[in-house]
């Protein structure tokens, strides 16, 4: 039996002799490469935290002590050490989540995979336990250097530092990266901490030499030690954390398990908040990951474990269409600039950055700052394009509303991975953005139905100078082009009967155009008269769409957004405002969190398939 097979939980791990831990770490890495190669998932981050996670579970007593992982994509090792060894269906329906999951284990605390939240969670847990008199229970937050670029983390640090007796350990997992290398002033500061050992060497020299000086030596050393704060700021600027009132330990070699254990035991015994700075290497122990300059295998699909090469070659993606459009726009217009929040490659801005580095801004994991900075850039005469995942627009709603819309700022927000994303689960589905956008005065929103429409929508968006605009598209391979049979004042008619009024005006929003067309074909085969349209710009609801509804018996809207407050709701309101009494059927995502599964499985479960839409409409037409 291997060492890993003997680990059914933290108690088994604690019972292992320290001499066996390097072999266990090697087994864990081999397991991760073998299993994640079969399913896809976050490989590089987990390879980097093997020794750190082992040390955490040997020093602390989970779940009595709470361990909170920021973002959570680096929790695979944690899952293994807490007894979850079946990775055969990782991120698939019925299998393990790719993030911590309370449904899986009492050892999992936070399953929200949005970054920079762990310190607030940990502060609340630790403070709550103190209030309840549970002062012997420790709380640990594991946060990456990338997540520390988020303002929320610093709001939490400001409060944590004021509670000097809080049993809280903050572990900074510093691998110089989020997806790509971490950028900004904090990254530079941590880089200095990684490379500077001057303070310790200086004090060691002083203790050896100054204290030997007769009569004044001891006093001189005490004076020297008394001004250590100033010396630290010069030769080892961990003083930034100590200025906040936090005890700082480190930097610690994140692949020396015993060194990490020693640092964590000191932190645990301190009796107040302690920051432990651990230096790790993303992709550790797997050459293909180490050699990958882009993101060191942050996330992979199904790969050959020997070479790291993908076994499935993906087609052209929606993101590729956006990336090419941005480069072309950059060539044509010097006023177009790009902003992203630590996701330069995933959202397709890397080619623009390579070509126009002086017009590209990576603000770190700080979506709020990104939107308000964009408003400022617009005020200065530029047109910023802010590219983020759709699920992360939630974090910058106030800035979109008050800084961009209120000030009529010409800012374009491009939302990648909108709608149902599949295996990343509840917090990654981009299912809220059209509801959020729908309450913003003056905002324009386009949901392209195919790659050609992505380019057209982005180009049209950057021409809007007096209001924010949003362009959203899904994850995955781009849809084949869908040609309109005609256009009515900007609304594309995709299919319709040869003449006369129709029973159903079927509105397919974005990627749901294909679903709508197939549903219409099924109904038409049964003799029903259906017209399928793509509004192109879904917000504000086009007047042409209202006009087309006048000739229909009913209207149906199909969207991959939460149905409450979505485009269907907006269309319903527009018809009411026009005093048009036409029934409206809305097909969208129900107001609930959706578990991880394939995109197709999730769409089937929520009734967003051609069969489900056709069946529902058929019953209403009978």
Which amino acids are annotated as binding site for Mg(2+), given as ranges? Answer: 145, 175
Q: Are the C-beta atoms of residues 308 and 296 closer than 8 Å to each other?
A: no
Phi and psi at residue 504, in whole multiples of 5°? -135, 130
User: Rounded distance, CA 145 to CA 277, Å?
Assistant: 10
User: Rounded distance, CA 203 to CA 75, Å?
Assistant: 38
User: Is 282 considered catalytic here?
Assistant: yes
Q: Residues 111, 257, 367, 559: which is the catalytic one? A: 367
User: Rounded distance, CA 216 to CA 220, Å?
Assistant: 6
Q: Are the C-beta atoms of residues 413 and 388 closer than 8 Å to each other?
A: yes
Structure tokens at 346: 């995933």
Q: Residues 58, 84, 282, 529: which is the catalytic one? A: 282
Q: Are the C-beta atoms of residues 391 and 365 closer than 8 Å to each other?
A: no
Within 8 A by CB and 6+ apart from 143, the residues are: 70, 116, 118, 119, 153, 170, 171, 172, 173
Kindly calculate the radius of gyration of the chain based on its CA atoms and give it in whole angstroms.
27
Rama region for 94: left / alpha / beta (φ>0; ψ in -120 to 50; rest): left
User: Shortest CA distance to 274 belongs to which of 119, 114, 144, 46?
Assistant: 119
User: Shortest CA distance to 309 belongs to which of 330, 329, 333, 291?
Assistant: 291
**HSE-up of 489 (CA within 13 Å, CB side)?**
8
Q: Residues 58, 79, 359, 395: which is the catalytic one? A: 395
Binding site: what residues are annotated?
Answer: 73, 113-115, 145-147, 175, 286, 367
CA 169 to chain centre: 24
* Range list of β-strands (E), 136-207: 139-144, 168-174
The Cβ of residue 490 has, within 10 Å, a number of other Cβ atoms equal to 13
Rama region for 59: left / alpha / beta (φ>0; ψ in -120 to 50; rest): alpha
User: Is 331 considered catalytic here?
Assistant: no
**HSE-up of 488 (CA within 13 Å, CB side)?**
17
Which residues are known catalytic residues? 282, 367, 395
């Amino acid at each position: 039996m291997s060492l890993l097979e003997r680990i059914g939980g933290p108690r088994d791990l604690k019972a292992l002799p320290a001499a066996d831990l390097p072999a266990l770490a090697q087994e864990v890495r081999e397991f991760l490469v073998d299993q994640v190669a079969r399913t896809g998932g976050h490989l590089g981050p987990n390879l980097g935290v093997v020794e750190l996670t082992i040390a955490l579970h040997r020093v602390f007593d989970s779940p009595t002590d709470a361990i909170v992982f920021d973002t959570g994509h680096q929790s695979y090792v944690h899952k293994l050490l807490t007894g979850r060894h079946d990775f055969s269906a990782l991120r698939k329906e019925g299998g393990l989540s790719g993030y911590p999951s309370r449904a899986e284990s009492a050892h999992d605390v936070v399953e929200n995979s949005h970054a920079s939240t762990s310190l607030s969670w940990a502060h609340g847990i630790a403070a709550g336990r103190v209030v309840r008199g549970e002062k012997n229970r420790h709380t640990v937050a594991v946060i990456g250097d990338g997540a520390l670029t988020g303002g929320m983390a610093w709001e939490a640090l400001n409060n944590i530092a004021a509670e000097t007796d809080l049993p809280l350990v903050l572990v900074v997992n510093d691998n110089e990266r989020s997806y790509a290398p971490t950028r900004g002033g904090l990254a530079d500061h941590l880089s200095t901490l990684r490379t500077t050992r001057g303070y310790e060497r200086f004090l060691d020299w002083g203790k050896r030499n100054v204290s030997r000086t007769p009569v004044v030596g001891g006093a001189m050393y005490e004076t020297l030690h008394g001004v250590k704060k100033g010396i630290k700021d010069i030769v080892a600027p961990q003083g930034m954390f100590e200025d906040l009132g936090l005890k700082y330990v480190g930097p610690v070699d994140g692949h020396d398990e015993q060194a990490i254990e020693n640092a964590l035991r000191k932190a645990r015994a301190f009796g107040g908040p302690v920051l432990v700075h651990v230096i790790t290497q993303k992709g550790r122990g797997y050459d293909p990951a180490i050699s990958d300059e882009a993101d060191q295998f942050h996330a992979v699909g199904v790969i050959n474990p020997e070479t790291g090469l993908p076994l499935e070659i993906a087609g052209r993606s929606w993101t590729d269409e956006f990336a090419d459009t941005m480069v072309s726009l950059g060539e044509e217009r010097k006023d177009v600039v790009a902003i992203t929040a630590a996701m330069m490659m995933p959202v397709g801005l890397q080619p623009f950055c390579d070509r126009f580095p002086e017009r590209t801004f990576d603000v770190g994991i700080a979506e709020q700052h990104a939107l308000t900075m964009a408003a400022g850039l617009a005020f200065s005469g530029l047109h910023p394009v802010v590219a983020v995942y759709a699920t992360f627009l939630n974090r910058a709603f106030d800035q979109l509303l008050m800084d961009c819309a209120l000030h009529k700022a010409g800012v374009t927000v491009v939302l990648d991975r909108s709608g149902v994303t599949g295996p990343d689960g509840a917090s990654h589905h981009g299912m809220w953005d059209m509801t959020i956008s729908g309450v913003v005065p003056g905002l324009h929103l386009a949901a392209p139905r195919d790659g050609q429409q992505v380019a057209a929508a982005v180009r049209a968006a950057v021409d809007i100078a007096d209001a924010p605009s949003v362009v959203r598209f899904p994850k995955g391979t781009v849809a084949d082009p869908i040609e309109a049979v005609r256009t009515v004042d900007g609304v594309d008619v995709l299919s319709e009967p040869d003449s006369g009024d129709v029973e159903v005006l079927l509105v397919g929003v974005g990627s749901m155009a294909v679903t709508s067309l197939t549903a219409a074909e099924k109904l038409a085969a049964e003799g029903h008269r259906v017209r399928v349209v793509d509004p192109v710009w879904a917000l504000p609801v086009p007047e042409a769409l209202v006009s087309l509804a006048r000739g229909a018996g009913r209207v149906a809207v199909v969207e991959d957004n939460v149905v409450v407050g979505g485009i269907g709701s907006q269309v319903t309101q527009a018809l009411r405002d026009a005093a048009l009494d036409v029934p409206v059927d809305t097909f969208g995502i129900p107001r609930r969190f959706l578990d991880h599964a394939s995109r197709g499985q999730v769409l089937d479960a929520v009734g967003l398939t051609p069969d489900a839409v056709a069946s529902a409409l058929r019953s209403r037409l009978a």
